A and B are shown apart, each in its own frame.
Chain A
């Protein structure tokens, strides 16, 4: 089955700096890669996703890149703000998979 690894487990950046979270996956059949943000006391919320037919996708300050050859994908947050502080999960799925496989999460803290 699919295996997703996520790094780092914790990340602290100063407000205004960029943050990068990286994930690798094992199943070359995976073709859908969403990212979720979980704020304290809430369920994870989808913030951006990418499919294997594109290499990069942007949405305002958030971007995701995908390298299918290397089987890794990354989340980039630019101009970080305190409200970006949360736990971020990557996931992989698609094809014949019935469910997403999640990474172990990255706790991002944006300091003033």
Chain B
């Protein structure tokens, strides 16, 4: 597609439920990143996928968070047993090769609200 697509755009879930957030990167972009942005805050790195390499999971805040990237394209971020502190905007970005050299293209994000 023309840009990075994220779905859903908004998600309200009850505390304790699991949620899945989807990211469809730009075709041909081998690098994919997930970030979290709490209200009025900066960008918190969560996880990074690069081609067939093992993902960099160093930013995941707890073992309730996991992500996968199938076929080097679409990625899903899963949050199990959601807590109120998980409420935030989850941003996905993709890049040609290593984004640290080429910059990112971000999606519009998924706004997650845990009630």
A residues at B contact (CB < 8 Å): 32, 34, 36, 41-46, 49, 89, 93-95, 97-100, 102-105
Contacts and interface: CB of A to CB of B under 8 A. Distances in A.
Contact of B56 (A44, A93, A98, A100): A98
Contact of A97 (B42, B98, B104, B109): B98
Interface in B29-57: 33, 41-43, 45, 48, 50, 56
Interface of B: 4, 33, 41-43, 45, 48, 50, 56, 91, 93, 98-109
A89 B100 contact: no
Contacts of A42: 108-109
B109 A100 contact: no
A102 B101 CA distance: 14
Contacts of A98: 48, 50, 56, 98-100
Contact of A89 (B33, B43, B50, B108): B43
A89 B56 contact: no
A42 B43 CA distance: 13
A94 B100 contact: yes
Nearest to A103: B42
Nearest to A2: B100
Given A43-B107, A102-B43, 10 more contacts: A32-B103, A36-B106, A43-B91, A44-B91, A44-B104, A97-B100, A98-B50, A99-B100, A104-B41, A104-B42
